[in-house]
Structure 1
Amino acid sequence: MAEAVVETNAKDVSSLEAPSKGNGEGRPKGKLDVLVQGAALFSDGYNIQIIGYMNSVLAKLYPAQMTTEVKTRLSNSILIGDVFGMIIFGLCIDRFGRRIGIILTTVFLVLGIILATAAHGATIEGMLWMMVIGRGVAGVGAGGEYTVCTSQAVECADSTPAMKKRRGMLVAVATNAAIISGFVASSIVSLIVLAAYGGEAHEGVWRICMGIGIVLPLFIFVFRMRLADSEQYKKHAIQHKVPYKLALKFYWKPLLGCCSAWFLYDFVVYPFNLLAPTLVAGIQGDTKSTLIQSIGWSALVNFFALPGAFIGALLMDRIGRRQTYALGWSIVCVFGFVIGGAMIQLNKIFPLFVVLYALFQTFLSVGPGDCNFLVSSESFPTPLRGHFLGFAAAVGKAGAAIGTTALSACLASYNGSVQGQQVVFLIGSAISVVGTLVVWFLIPNHPENLEDEDVRFRNYLELNGYDTSDMGLKTPVKTLS
């Protein structure tokens, strides 16, 4: 009797394969598998936002070297790395599987954090450039995590009927809520470390705060490596001869909508997060604000985005993705125009400014903050989810880099800080109007099951002469003959 090895589609052999210990095979997916992706994105949020607070510390330590251009360079370096990571790993995880992305993104993230934390140079300028490079490398890993974690979260959340009904909520908590929690954690860590140094700027403050960002990625790495590729990926993966032309022809409209909405959102939200200490210090008055007070107030403002993420998560499965998207954007428009129009009066009522600014942040999170990840995942089929999700996220990060540069320059161009802040809020509100229109006219309704979109795409390919017989992973199965 001889053994013959035949190739079979992964779907057809799922019942014949023995569970593989140590890599998650054979174990039913649960909510924890979805939410663990949030732990990785939490660390990304922390590492992205921490520089907003450390810019204030660095400006106190190195006032001559920390010009507006250098601050923007430090803020944008991780965002530029994000763009490369999102595109590269979006292609990688569709071709080679989701799990390989976990290894490579963690390597880049950890290496970049080490380089930035240990940055030194013969001059202060050289040290700051080393920090820029390190954060850029970390950005490649963080950007890859957006694609890897979101794809895994969406596909895990679609694995059981009960989870499908709450797919929107689960993914929103594992993506946007996790990232915002990282933003909040970065402010809390900054305050604790700064307080330990007596509220004074010190080199140890920025090195400790940046270095802490390495802890969580390493801690959860082993657990994440136990997760298997989803059944959707095994069944529908296209690892050779990807039909890009057909895919773009079929999905150009949702791709345009997702890219535009994410670009506009990041153009607004990242500058407002990173500039929060500057905005608060400006309206409070430089002579009144200590370093701890400035970071503390901006931490409070950023915290209000967190309940927004949970409100959006609750709405998502009840009123729909597109409706939640548009609702959040439209309310942001109202608050932004109110703040911008009344900025001179608000300059005399600081607590009211903080409340309105917090609500502005809250509804940015309710709508586009929650929906960007989910809609950019659900709108596309499994074999190309990484491609399109990564591209849309990369366009978003390009918006973040452009928005940070543009709004920082706008704020700095006004001698009077109140006028500069007024213009910045009015620009943010005008962009939100465009975002609302983009969402309503270009974003599709979500599929009830991810399999529905996969079947629709497969049928489209077959109608257009594409051979779908090679789709799916090919697994060797031993049979007796």
Structure 2
Amino acid sequence: MAASIEASTPNGKDGAVTKEVPAKVDEMALPEHDTEDMFEGTTKTAYSKLSTTLMVIFSALAIGSDGFNSSIIGNLSLIFGVLYPDLSTGMYSRLSNAFIIGMIIGMLGFGYFSDRLGRKSGAIFTTLILVVGIAMSAGASGKDELGMFWMLVVSRGIAGVGAGGEYPVSGAGATEATDENSGARKHRGFIFAMIADVSATFGFIFGGLVPLLLILCFHQNEAHYHIVWRLALALGAIPPLSIFWFRYKMAVSTAYKKSAAKKQHIPYRLIFKRYWRPLLGCSIGWFLYNYISYPFGLFASTITERLGIGNSLVKNMGWGTVINCFYIPGGIIGGLLSDKIGRRRTMALGFFVQAIVGFIIGGALGSIQTVLPLFIVLYGIFLSLGEVGPGATLILTSSESFPTSIRGQCLGLIAAFGKAGAAVGTSVFKPILASFGDSTYKGNQAVFLIGSAFALSGAFTSYYLIPDISNRLENEDEVWKAYLRENGYDIQWGEEDSDTKGLKMDGIVS
């Protein structure tokens, strides 16, 4: 059956895209032998639905555990405030940023690593590094409190390297897994919203719920808070450890086998020349999204505390957890929309409506904060709208926009730029609140107005910079290979194993 490839091909200096590139590849011509299933040692004609489902679940658990380990420190800072009242604001910032900086390093390093050595190798090493960092964090000690916290900062940074590596590894791996059958490909927007957004949201929620439950288990006895924060950190190792064996047995996707460039160097000049628009658009979008999402989620308990909503540690943590629950419907709605109207439009729409709600909260905060239910609902809607747009679409858009051979590196670079936004946001959030002295109203108003301005910027950059893309990964893979050949690069593609050789014999791999 003859086929045509819908792919994004350059058409002019502005990088506009055209469709309908003739294809020599028959979409139904996959060989009937030796195509590995999800786990090593089994063979099928293609990934089964179960295989795709398991890959999605494992990726969701991995990213969900990262959400937990990212958010846990924001809630533990309330406990540290009780245990260590003399701890400086600078140390709190270091604790928040150490994990984020580690994530940036992991995203950049494992983006390259996963393209050159494979998604499976990347998954194994990210898990090991994350677990080691968590163990060191839970067991942090020193000659005095300051020494202990410096060890905690270093340990959190190590854990962040492993957590950051999950984004290019799990993002690229899950994208390629959902491309194995047409049903999953058709609903990839919704599937990825569950993997990359809703799972991370549950991680954020449990990041508040776990220390809260531990405090209640110890009957709110401050003498046991030392155990609470160490145990809360240690529990973050359970999700990555629970899926380690499955990831160790994970097979390589068809897309990676056919289109990886493990032995040759791909010129970065051509990468940036061809893909500058999605690189720039996704990077700016992710930076702005994290600048808003991270501090407003991490410090939800701080804002409720400043407003006097809760008069105890338990109530403040409880309200912060409730507010974070509003992320969930946003991710689900965003996933459904991205399959209906496209990733770019969904991202821009979410950003734009979030900005409107944020401006309303900031402008009328004096009246809104006097009505507790109204403030909680509007705060939650503000957070949820961020998930409708960029939260539900950024990882998928950043993964779909690039061919398999450079997907991990480009996704890692974009994610690292995004986490820089989280680092900046968490660094300036508390200083902005504190800059107005005793005026709680002005401080809270300022963070909402600034966040809304960033959301409005995200709406424009997403809509005008991010191109609409093809839904089938093989389309862009083939066009990318042709583009490199036209520029004088004859690269050996795929893995030299029995499966790839079979594909070559059938004329599928160039």
TM-score w.r.t. the length of structure 1 is 0.93
Residue in structure 1 matched with residue 67 of structure 2 by the alignment = 45
The one-letter code matched in structure 1 to 2:134 is: I
Deviations 1:277-312 (A, max 9, x none): 111111126xx5200100010101101001111111
Q: Does 1:378 align with 2:421?
A: no
Shift in alpha-carbon separation, 1:414–1:20, aligned structure 2, 3 A: closer
Which residue of 2 is the match for residue 264 of structure 1? 288
| Residue 20 of structure 2: aligned partner | none
Aligned equivalent of 1:32, options 47, 54, 71 = 54
- Aligned to 1:117, which of 128, 132, 138? 138
Unaligned runs of 5+ in 2: 1-27, 503-510
1:16 offset after TM fit, Å? 5.0
Q: Secondary structure at the match of 2:497?
A: strand
Match of 2:227 among 204, 212, 216: 204
**Paired amino acid for 1:204:** I
CA distance in 1, matches of 2:494, 2:240: 30
Contact 2:93–2:427, Cα closer than 8 Å, also in 1: yes
Assess if the C-alpha contact under 8 Å between 1:90 and 1:389 holds in 2: yes
Cα distance per residue 1:119-161 (max 9 Å; x no partner) = 1111101111111111100000000011111111111111101
Q: Report what 1:420 is aligned to.
A: 443
Task: Name the counterpart of 1:316.
Answer: 338
Query: 1:85, 1:142 within 8 Å by CA — same for their partners in 2?
Result: yes
Aligned twin of 1:399? 421
Q: Does 1:101 align with 2:122?
A: yes
Q: CA deviation at 1:441?
A: 0.5
Cα deviation digits, residues 447-468 of structure 1 (max 9, x gap): 1211111112112112212113
Partner Cα distance (2:298, 2:178) in 1: 32
Distance in 2 (alpha carbons) for counterparts of 1:24 and 1:363? 44
Moved over 6 A (4+): 11-14
Counterparts of residues 252-401 of structure 1 (less than 5 Å) = 252-284=276-308, 289-401=311-423
Q: Distance in 1 between matches of 2:359 and 2:220?
A: 35
Cα distance in 2 for partners of 1:134, 1:466 equals: 43
Summarize the Cα distance change of 1:141–1:12 in structure 2 as closer, same or farther, 3 Å threshold: farther
Task: Spell out, residue by residue over 1:185-242, the C-alpha distance to the aligned partner (whole angstroms, 9 max, x if none).
Answer: 1222122101112224410110111110011111111112222121111111112121
The Cα of 1:180 is off from its aligned counterpart by: 0.6
CA offsets, 1:30-62, max 9 Å, x none?
223222210111111111101110000011100
Moved more, 41-50 or 199-208: 199-208
Distance in 2 between the 1:446 and 1:197 partners? Answer: 52
Instruction: For CA contacts below 8 A with separation 6 or more, give which structure has more relative contact order.
Output: 1
Contact 1:25 1:228 (8 Å CA) reproduced: no
Rounded to whole Å, the distance in 2 between the matches of 1:329 and 1:22 is 39
Partner of 1:119, secondary structure, is coil
Cα RMSD (Å): 1.9
Contact 2:36 2:251 in 1 (8 A): no
1:174 to 1:137, Cα distance in 2 relative to 1, 3 A: same
Give the 3 Å change call, closer, same or farther, for CA 38–63 of structure 1 in structure 2: same
Of 161, 168, 172, which residue of structure 1 is paired with 2:193? 172
Do 2:352 and 2:455's aligned partners in 1 also have CA atoms closer than 8 Å?
yes
- Select which of 82, 92, 97 maps to 1:60: 82
Higher mean alpha-carbon deviation, 408-417 vs 259-268, is at 408-417
Distance of 1:429 and 1:318 partners within structure 2: 26
**Does the CA-based 8 Å contact 2:330-2:387 persist in structure 1?**
yes
Check whether the contact 1:325–1:439 (CA below 8 A) recurs between aligned residues.
Answer: yes
The amino acid of 2:278's aligned partner reads P
Task: Identify the match of residue 465 of structure 1 among 479, 484, 488.
Answer: 488
Aligned-partner residue type, residue 424 of structure 1: V
Partner in structure 1 of residue 96 of structure 2: 75
| Distance in 1 between residues matched to 2:286 and 2:43, nearest whole Å | 36
Residue identity matched to 1:419: K
> Which secondary structure does the structure 2 equivalent of 1:159 belong to?
coil
Letter in 2 for 1:59: G
Q: TM-score, normalization: structure 2?
A: 0.88
Give the match's secondary structure for 1:472.
Answer: coil
- Where structure 1 has 5 or more consecutive residues not aligned to the other structure, the ranges are 1-10
Deviation of 1:18 after TM superposition, in Å, equals: 7.7
Question: Distance between the aligned counterparts of 1:279 and 1:26, measured in 2?
Answer: 54
> What is the rounded CA distance, in whole Å, between the counterparts of 2:304 and 2:31 in structure 1?
56
Does the aligned pair in 2 maintain the 1:94–1:383 contact within 8 Å? yes
Deviation at 1:13, TM superposition (A): 10
Tell me which residue corresponds to 1:430: 453
Mean CA deviation greater in 199-208 or 310-319: 199-208
3-state SS of the aligned residue for 1:121? coil
Q: Give the superposition deviation at 1:22.
A: 5.2
Identify which range, 197-206 or 330-339, moves more after superposition. 197-206
Q: Which residue of 1 aligns with 2:272?
A: 248
Does the C-alpha gap of structure 1 residues 421 and 21 become closer, same or farther in structure 2, counting only changes over 3 Å? closer
User: Does the CA-based 8 Å contact 1:321-1:371 persist in structure 2?
Assistant: yes
Which stretch of the first structure deviates more once superposed, 230-239 or 25-34? 25-34
Which amino acid counterpart does residue 93 of structure 1 have in structure 2? Answer: S
1:86 aligns to 2:110 (yes or no): no
Tell me how far apart the structure 2 counterparts of residues 355 and 19 of structure 1 sit (CA, whole Å): 48
- Pick one of 128, 152, 166 that aligns with 2:173: 152
CA gap 1:21/1:403 in 2 versus in 1, 3 angstroms? closer
In 2, the alpha carbon distance for the partners of 1:24 and 1:93 equals 22
Give secondary structure in 1 for the equivalent of 2:243: helix
